[in-house]
Amino acid sequence: MAESLAQTRGYNGFSYADISHVLGITKASLHYHFPTKEALGQALMERYAEEFRLALARIAETASSALEMVERYVALYRDVLVVGRLCLCGMFAAEVTTLPPGIQDRVRAFFDMNEQWLSDAFARGRHEGTLRIEQDAAEGARLFMGALEGAMLVARSYGQPQRFDADSRRLVALFLGAASRS
Amino acid sequence: MAESLAQTRGYNGFSYADISHVLGITKASLHYHFPTKEALGQALMERYAEEFRLALARIAETASSALEMVERYVALYRDVLVVGRLCLCGMFAAEVTTLPPGIQDRVRAFFDMNEQWLSDAFARGRHEGTLRIEQDAAEGARLFMGALEGAMLVARSYGQPQRFDADSRRLVALFLGAASRS
DNA sequence: GTCTATAACGAGATAGAC
DNA sequence: GTCTATCTCGTTATAGAC
Task: Report whether B10 contacts B95 (CB < 8 A).
Answer: yes
Global pTM reads: 0.96
Q: How confident is the model at residue A173 (pLDDT cuts 50, 70, 90)?
A: very high
For residue B91, the chain A residues in CB contact (below 8 A) are 94
Shortest CB distance from A154 goes to which of B93, B135, B171?
B93
CA dist A175 and B170 (Å) reads 12
Q: Which nucleotide C1' is nearest A35 CA?
A: C13
Cα distance from B150 to chain A (closest Cα, Å)? 4
Q: What is the DSSP string of B61-83?
A: HH-SSHHHHHHHHHHHHHHHHTT
Q: How confident is the model at residue B179 (pLDDT cuts 50, 70, 90)?
A: low
Beta bridge partners of A131: A176
Return the pLDDT at A180: 47
B148 interface with A at CB cutoff 8 Å: yes
Mean pLDDT of B8-22: 98
Return the pLDDT at A179: 53
Please give, one letter per residue, the 3-state secondary structure of B85-115: CCCHHHHHHHCHHHCCHHHHHHHHHHHHHHH
In three-state secondary structure terms, B79 is: helix
Tell me the per-residue pLDDT of A36-93, one tens digit each, with 9 for 90 and over.
Answer: 999 999 999 999 999 999 999 999 999 999 999 999 999 999 999 999 999 999 999 9
Question: Does position A130 have pLDDT exceeding 90, yes or no?
Answer: yes
Question: What is the set of domains in chain A, with CATH numbers?
Answer: 38-175 (1.10.357.10)
Give, for B121, the enclosing helix (H) or strand (E). helix B101-128
Amino acid letter for position B15 = S
Return the pLDDT at B121: 97
Question: Does position A181 have pLDDT exceeding 50, yes or no?
Answer: no
Mean pLDDT of A113-138: 92
Tell me the per-residue pLDDT of B83-136, one tens digit each, with 9 for 90 and over.
Answer: 999 999 999 999 999 999 999 999 999 999 999 999 999 999 999 999 887 778
A18 interface with B at CB cutoff 8 Å: no
Question: Does position B75 have pLDDT exceeding 60, yes or no?
Answer: yes
CA dist B84 and B167 (Å) reads 17
Mean pLDDT, chain A, integer: 95
Mean pLDDT of A106-134: 95
Q: CA A119, C1' D3: Å apart?
A: 50
Mean pLDDT, chain B, integer: 95
CA dist B65 and B125 (Å) reads 7
Return the pLDDT at A133: 78
